[in-house]
Chains A and B, each alone.
Chain A
C-alpha cells in the first residue's frame, strides 16, 4: 500500500501497467486457458476422500436380496401403467400400503408457457404418489427421500419396482433413525417441482397443486433412481442441478465408495475412469469428462430429478443404470444393495452433509478440483477486464493530471455528458428486457401471422429480437445530441468493462462453469474493442463471439464430447431447442440462465457493439 500512497511509485506502476497492458492481458488469457486445461491433469488434482465422520468409519452390511421381487413388481407396474395410461395411482397406493407405508397422493397441474416439443407436453396434469416409512422411535423431524419417475413408455419401470422392493425390505428393519419417503413422481421434473413446493408450502413458479397431507420433517438427503433394464453394466452418477448447483461432494464419495465395495462399474458423465493419466489419451479422457461437467453445469438446468432438491438445501443426486455392450452385467439386487448401503449411511448422519466441498469439478469419480484450484483460471480472465479498465482510467485521467500544474482546473471540460453514456446503457438494457419478455408474450401474435408452431414462434422471436439488437448503434446515435467524442466511447467502455467484470465475477461465484465459459468468449473481444478497428472484420469477430454463438459452440462441443457429433443443420435445430428449453426451465423451475443472459450479459455485449460503431 505504500506503493500506492507514494505518488512517484504509483506513477511508475501505472506507467508500467499501461505500457505493458496488451502483453500482460495476452499472457493472462493464455495462462487462464492453460491453467484451466491443467486442472484435468491428474497430478494437479486431489484424490476424493470421505469427510463426513458418520459415514466414513461405520461400515454397514448390505443384505438386500429381493431382486426378483423388484423385477416382478416392475412388470406389474408396467402393466398397470399401460392400463391407466399414466400413473397407476390406485395400484401404487395399494402396493405401498401393503408394504406398511403411510401413503399419500398429490395431484398437480401446470400449463406450460408454450408447448414443449421435446417432451410433447403443454397442459400437464398428473399425480405424485409417495409413501412414508416412519422410523421407529423417531419424532418425525428428519427424513430421507428416494424417488423414481413414472415415465411414459418402457423406461424407468425397474426403478419403480426396485423402489417398492426396497420399501418392503426397509420396512422390516429396525435401525432407521430418519423417516424414509418413497416418492414416485409423474412428468419428471414438473411432478418433482410440484412435490417439493407442496412439501415446503411455497409457490415460486405458479404451479397448481393439492396440499400435501403427510410430512416427515426436514429432508436431509435425496436419491433419484433411473433404471430401465433388468440388468445393467454400469451406474452413472448425475450431480448437476438447477442453476449449476452441486450436492455436497460427500454424496458422490459415498456412491463411489459403495461402487468400489460392491464391484459395480461406475461412471460420471457417462465416462469410465482410466488409470493411465500419464498418457495423452488418459489426459484427454479426464479433460473431456471435466469439460462435460463444465458444459452441463453452465447450462444451469437440472440434469436429473435430483436437481430441484438442491434449492431447498437438500443434498441430492441421480443414479442412472446404463445397459451397454459389456460382458459384465449386474442384476437389480446388486443395485438394491448399493442403495441400501447408501441409505443406511445417510441414515447414520448426525448432521446435514456439510463437511465436504460444495464447489468442485470432477475430472473422474476419484479425483476432484476444488474451488481454490479452479477459481484462479477465472480470476486471470477477470483481471484482463480490470487491467483494461485501469488503462482506460489512466488514459482518461491523463489530461486532468496535466491540468493540475496549470491554473485552468475549473475550466476543464467535465468529460462527456452523462447522457452520452447513459443512453446506450439504457437502450441496451431495454433491448434485453424485450428479449426477456417478448418471445413468450408475443407467441400468439406470431402464430397468427406466420405459419409456425408456438414453440418455433417463441424461439424465432427470441432470435429475431437478438438480431434486431445489432441495429442498435444507429438508433442510439440518432438519439444522441451531438457527435460521439473520443472521451465518450472511453467512458462508455470503462463502464461496460467494469460492468462485465462484476457480472462475470458474480456469475462465477454462483456457477463457475457459466462464468468461465462466458468469460472465455467475451473477454478477448470486449477487452480489445475500439471504434478505430476495421469495422467489418471486428464486427464479424464480435458477432462470432457473442453470447448466442457461445451457446451454439457449446452445443457442438457437447455433442462432440458425448460422442454423438451432429451436422450443422442438426446443430442449428439443437441450438433452437436449447433456447426453448432454457426459456421453459426458467418458467417451470426458476432456472436463472435465461434471465441472466437476456437481461444482463446480452445488454452488456450490446454496449461493446455500440462502441464498435461509435461515430
Chain B
C-alpha cells in the first residue's frame, strides 16, 4: 500500500504540473493544495487492483497532456495508444430566462477498429459497452446518433443547446460502404436498439425513414457522401421516461454508482422543463497521423430546470436541489471529471452568486461566442472541501430577462381549418444584423399528408426567394414519406417563410391508431446552417478543449455549425366515428338489404302484361272447341 501511495503522489505531481503550466486551454490556476489531493485519491483507491488500474490511467493521461503540448494532436482528443479512456463533465449554464441548464457529457474512447480487415471479431471490452460494440460490428455501422427528448428546446428563451435534438426519438445512422443490404441492416438495427434502449424504435419502418442528401453529414472520420448509406428517422410521439434512462446509464463505465452519474435520479430529472438524452458513436483518429481509428462514444444528457415550479419563489439553486444528490467523488475510471459553470454573463457577480468559489477559470468558444467558465475538478480532493461532498450553490440576484433573439431560429405550424386541406408554414428567422447565410431545410412529411409540391413557396421580406438547391422525393402511399430538402439563402435580419399545401388522406380503417382523434404527428423539420460567428471560432484542435465545445468539428474560423429543430406538428385527419360501429353496421346492412334487394328485384324481373282470365262460359266454350278441332275464341 505504501508503495502505491508513493506512486500516486508522483502521479499527482505530474497532473498538477501539467495544470500549472500556462497551457493553451486558458486554464488559470489560483490556488494549489497538493496534500488534499493526495489524501482524497488514497481514500478512493482502497482496493489495490483498482488503484493499480487507475494509476495506469492517470499516468497515460498525464504523459499524454505533455505530448499534446509539445506537438498537438489532430482532432484535439487525447489518446492513449491501445487504451480505452473515459471522460465525464457537467456544464451548468444559468439561462437568460432564469432557468438553469445542466448538460452532462460522457466520452468513452475505444481503441479498436474492427471495420479494418482481419479484425472482425472483438471480444475484449473494457470501458466501452459491449452491447453497443456488438451492434456496431454486426451491422457495420459507421456512425450512429440516437436521441430521446421529452419537451421542446425553447430557443427564444434559452439560446442554443450544445447538442440539439428534436422532441421524441431521433435516429440517424451511416452504414459502412461495404454493406449491401442497407435497408435490411437498418431494420434489424432499429429493432436491436429498441431492445437496448427500451424504446419503441421498432416502429421505425420504411414509412418514416428517409435518406437526406445534404442535411446529415458524418461527424466523424470518413467523408462519406453517398447518402444511400444514410438512414434518418424520427418518432415525434415517443415518450421518454425512466425506462429509457436506466439502460442509458448502464452504458457508463461507472454506471450510476460513482462520478457525475450519481446525480441522475429520475424523479428529479423528469421534474424539469426539458429532458434530452443521446448517444453518439463515431470513428475518430487514434493519433495525429490518423493511421488507425478509434471509436468515440459520447453520451449526453441535457436537462433544463424551471425556476418557477421548483424554486417556490426563491431563486436559489444547488446541486442538491436540482438532483437531490451531491457529488462525493469522480468516477474512478475517468481520466477527467469536471464541472463547468458558465459565468460569462456574471463577471462581477451581479447576476448570481456562486459558492463554493473556484480558483479555476476556463474559456471556450462555443456556438460563436466566447464563454467563461468556472471549473471544478472532481479529481481533486480540495473540490469536496471539509464535508467531503461537493454541493454547488447558485443564488440569483438579478431578474429574468426578456426573450432572446438567437441568430437562427425556426418555427412551424399548420394553417387553415377543416379536415380536407391545410398548409404547413415553416418560418425561419435570421436575426443577424448584416450577414446573409444559407441554411439547409429538411422536411420529412408522412405520406398521409399529400403535399401539393406545386404550391411550395419561399418568401423572404415579402419577395420570392428561390432556393438554390431542391431535393424532393415524393411519397408513396403506405411505403415512404415525402422528403424535401432545400438550400435557402436567408437575407440579413429577415423572416423567411416556406409554405406548402397538403391534403389529408383518408386512411383505411385498420390504419388508424387506437386514439385517432388525438391526431397524427409530423416530425420536426431540421434547419442546418453555418452561422456567422461573432468571435473567431478556433479551428485549432491542438487545445485540450472541454467536451461540450468539441462535438461538431469546425472547418473555418468565421462560422459555426448550428442545427435547429422546429416543433413537431399534430394534424387531425378525417376520422370516422369508431365508437358506434354497431350502428353503422346495422344502418349499412339495412340500406343494402332494402335498397339493393328491391333494385335488383326491379332490374331483373321480367314484366308481363297479365291476361285477365276469361269468364267461365268462354273457357268452357273453348274447351269444347279444342275437342272439336275448330279455332278457339279470342
A interface residue numbers (CB < 8 A to B): 1-2, 4-5, 97, 100, 102, 134, 136-142, 171-174, 200-202, 215, 217-218, 311-313, 350-352, 354-355
Starting from the known contacts A351-B515, A354-B517, 5 additional A-B residue pairs (CB-CB under 8 Å) come to A2-B601, A4-B598, A136-B273, A141-B519, A218-B570
Which of A4, A136, A142, A171 has most B Cβ within 10 Å?
A136
Task: Check if B16 is an interface residue, CB within 8 A of chain A.
Answer: no
Residues on A with C-beta less than 8 A from B413 are 201, 215, 217
- What is the bound-complex CA distance between A496 and B164, given in angstroms? 66
Measured between C-beta atoms, what is the minimum distance from A291 to chain B in Å? 30
Contact with A100, one of B308, B414, B516 (Cβ below 8 angstroms): B308
Task: Check if B534 is an interface residue, CB within 8 A of chain A.
Answer: no
Q: Are B414 and A218 in contact (CB under 8 A)?
A: yes
Q: List 21 A-B contacts (CB under 8 A).
A: A4-B598, A5-B598, A5-B601, A97-B402, A136-B274, A138-B151, A139-B152, A140-B152, A140-B167, A141-B519, A141-B567, A172-B309, A201-B415, A201-B425, A202-B416, A215-B411, A217-B413, A217-B567, A217-B570, A352-B519, A354-B579
Residues on A with C-beta less than 8 A from B432 are none
- What is the bound-complex CA distance between A200 and B415, given in angstroms? 5
- What is the bound-complex CA distance between A141 and B413, given in angstroms? 9
Residue of A nearest to B309 (CB): A174
Q: Are B415 and A202 in contact (CB under 8 A)?
A: yes
Q: Are A141 and B568 in contact (CB under 8 A)?
A: yes
- What is the bound-complex CA distance between A283 and B503, given in angstroms? 49
Residues on A with C-beta less than 8 A from B402 are 97
Residues on B with C-beta less than 8 A from A141 are 519, 521, 567-570
Q: Are A201 and B423 in contact (CB under 8 A)?
A: yes
Residue of B nearest to A141 (CB): B570
Measured between C-beta atoms, what is the minimum distance from B409 to chain A in Å? 11
Q: Are A218 and B273 in contact (CB under 8 A)?
A: no
Residue of A nearest to B515 (CB): A351
Q: Are B570 and A102 in contact (CB under 8 A)?
A: no
Which of A102, A201, A202 has most B Cβ within 10 Å?
A201
Contact with B568, one of A100, A139, A352, A354 (Cβ below 8 angstroms): A139
Q: Are B567 and A174 in contact (CB under 8 A)?
A: no
Task: Check if B594 is an interface residue, CB within 8 A of chain A.
Answer: yes
Residue of B nearest to A176 (CB): B309
User: When A1-B598, A171-B308, A355-B579 are in contact, do A137 and B518 touch as well, CB less than 8 Å?
Assistant: no
Q: Are A313 and B417 in contact (CB under 8 A)?
A: yes
Contact with B517, one of A136, A173, A352 (Cβ below 8 angstroms): A352
Q: Are B273 and A137 in contact (CB under 8 A)?
A: yes
Task: Check if B228 is an interface residue, CB within 8 A of chain A.
Answer: no
Task: Check if B211 is an interface residue, CB within 8 A of chain A.
Answer: no
Task: Check if B270 is an interface residue, CB within 8 A of chain A.
Answer: yes
Residues on B with C-beta less than 8 A from A355 are 579
User: When A201-B413, A217-B567 are in contact, do A139 and B309 touch as well, CB less than 8 Å?
Assistant: no
CB contacts under 8 Å to A, within B400-457, are 402-403, 411, 413-419, 423, 425
Residue of A nearest to B149 (CB): A139
Q: Are B519 and A218 in contact (CB under 8 A)?
A: yes
Measured between C-beta atoms, what is the minimum distance from A543 to chain B in Å? 40
- What is the bound-complex CA distance between A221 and B571, given in angstroms? 15
Measured between C-beta atoms, what is the minimum distance from A518 to chain B in Å? 26
Residues on A with C-beta less than 8 A from B157 are 102
B interface residue numbers (CB < 8 A to A): 150-152, 154, 156-157, 167-168, 236, 270-275, 306, 308-309, 312, 402-403, 411, 413-419, 423, 425, 515-519, 521, 567-572, 575, 577, 579, 594, 597-598, 601-602, 605
Residues on B with C-beta less than 8 A from A350 are 515, 518
Q: Are B308 and A200 in contact (CB under 8 A)?
A: no
Residues on A with C-beta less than 8 A from B602 are 1, 5
Residue of A nearest to B598 (CB): A1
Residues on B with C-beta less than 8 A from A97 are 402
User: When A172-B308, A352-B572 are in contact, do A5 and B605 touch as well, CB less than 8 Å?
Assistant: yes
Q: Are B154 and A134 in contact (CB under 8 A)?
A: yes
Q: Are B151 and A139 in contact (CB under 8 A)?
A: yes
Q: Are B415 and A174 in contact (CB under 8 A)?
A: no
Measured between C-beta atoms, what is the minimum distance from A53 to chain B in Å? 11
User: When A136-B309, A200-B415 are in contact, do A102 and B403 touch as well, CB less than 8 Å?
Assistant: yes
Q: Are A351 and B518 in contact (CB under 8 A)?
A: yes
- What is the bound-complex CA distance between A5 and B271, given in angstroms? 73
Give me the 10 closest cross-chain CB pairs, A-B, nearest first: A1-B598, A139-B167, A201-B415, A351-B517, A137-B151, A141-B570, A140-B567, A137-B150, A136-B273, A351-B518
Measured between C-beta atoms, what is the minimum distance from A550 to chain B in Å? 31
- What is the bound-complex CA distance between A100 and B236, given in angstroms? 27
Q: Are A313 and B309 in contact (CB under 8 A)?
A: no
Measured between C-beta atoms, what is the minimum distance from B158 to chain A in Å? 11
- What is the bound-complex CA distance between A4 and B598, given in angstroms? 10
Residue of B nearest to A175 (CB): B309
Measured between C-beta atoms, what is the minimum distance from B16 to chain A in Å? 43
- What is the bound-complex CA distance between A173 and B273, given in angstroms? 12
Measured between C-beta atoms, what is the minimum distance from A168 to chain B in Å? 10
- What is the bound-complex CA distance between A140 and B166, given in angstroms? 12
Q: Are B570 and A136 in contact (CB under 8 A)?
A: no
Measured between C-beta atoms, what is the minimum distance from A180 to chain B in Å? 14
- What is the bound-complex CA distance between A97 and B516, given in angstroms? 36
Q: Are A312 and B414 in contact (CB under 8 A)?
A: no
Which of A137, A171, A201, A312 has most B Cβ within 10 Å?
A137
Measured between C-beta atoms, what is the minimum distance from B415 to chain A in Å? 3
Q: Are B152 and A136 in contact (CB under 8 A)?
A: no
Q: Are B403 and A312 in contact (CB under 8 A)?
A: no
- What is the bound-complex CA distance between A172 and B605, given in angstroms? 76
- What is the bound-complex CA distance between A558 and B312, given in angstroms? 52
- What is the bound-complex CA distance between A528 and B309, given in angstroms? 71
- What is the bound-complex CA distance between A354 and B576, given in angstroms? 11
- What is the bound-complex CA distance between A139 and B167, given in angstroms? 6
Residues on A with C-beta less than 8 A from B167 are 139-140
Measured between C-beta atoms, what is the minimum distance from B130 to chain A in Å? 32
Residues on B with C-beta less than 8 A from A102 are 156-157, 403
- What is the bound-complex CA distance between A384 and B578, given in angstroms? 35
User: When A102-B403, A201-B423, A313-B417 are in contact, do A1 and B308 touch as well, CB less than 8 Å?
Assistant: no
Measured between C-beta atoms, what is the minimum distance from B116 to chain A in Å? 42
Contact with B601, one of A1, A134, A215 (Cβ below 8 angstroms): A1
Measured between C-beta atoms, what is the minimum distance from A177 to chain B in Å? 11
- What is the bound-complex CA distance between A355 and B516, given in angstroms? 12
- What is the bound-complex CA distance between A173 and B274, given in angstroms? 15
Residues on B with C-beta less than 8 A from A5 are 598, 601-602, 605
- What is the bound-complex CA distance between A1 and B601, given in angstroms? 9
Contact with B152, one of A100, A138, A201, A352 (Cβ below 8 angstroms): A138
Residue of B nearest to A171 (CB): B308
Q: Are A312 and B309 in contact (CB under 8 A)?
A: no
Residue of A nearest to B414 (CB): A218
Q: Are B417 and A312 in contact (CB under 8 A)?
A: yes
Residues on A with C-beta less than 8 A from B271 are 174
- What is the bound-complex CA distance between A97 and B275, given in angstroms? 24
- What is the bound-complex CA distance between A173 and B601, given in angstroms? 68
User: When A5-B602, A138-B151 are in contact, do A313 and B411 touch as well, CB less than 8 Å?
Assistant: no
- What is the bound-complex CA distance between A208 and B309, given in angstroms? 38
User: When A139-B167, A217-B569, A311-B417 are in contact, do A1 and B518 touch as well, CB less than 8 Å?
Assistant: no
- What is the bound-complex CA distance between A171 and B99, given in angstroms? 14
- What is the bound-complex CA distance between A136 and B99, given in angstroms? 12
Q: Are B568 and A1 in contact (CB under 8 A)?
A: no
Residues on A with C-beta less than 8 A from B423 are 201
Residues on B with C-beta less than 8 A from A140 are 152, 167, 567-568
Residues on A with C-beta less than 8 A from B577 are 354
Residue of A nearest to B167 (CB): A139
- What is the bound-complex CA distance between A172 and B307, given in angstroms? 9
Q: Are B605 and A139 in contact (CB under 8 A)?
A: no
- What is the bound-complex CA distance between A134 and B152, given in angstroms? 9
- What is the bound-complex CA distance between A1 and B568, given in angstroms? 55
Measured between C-beta atoms, what is the minimum distance from A601 to chain B in Å? 26
Q: Are A139 and B417 in contact (CB under 8 A)?
A: no
Q: Are A137 and B272 in contact (CB under 8 A)?
A: yes
Residues on B with C-beta less than 8 A from A1 are 594, 597-598, 601-602
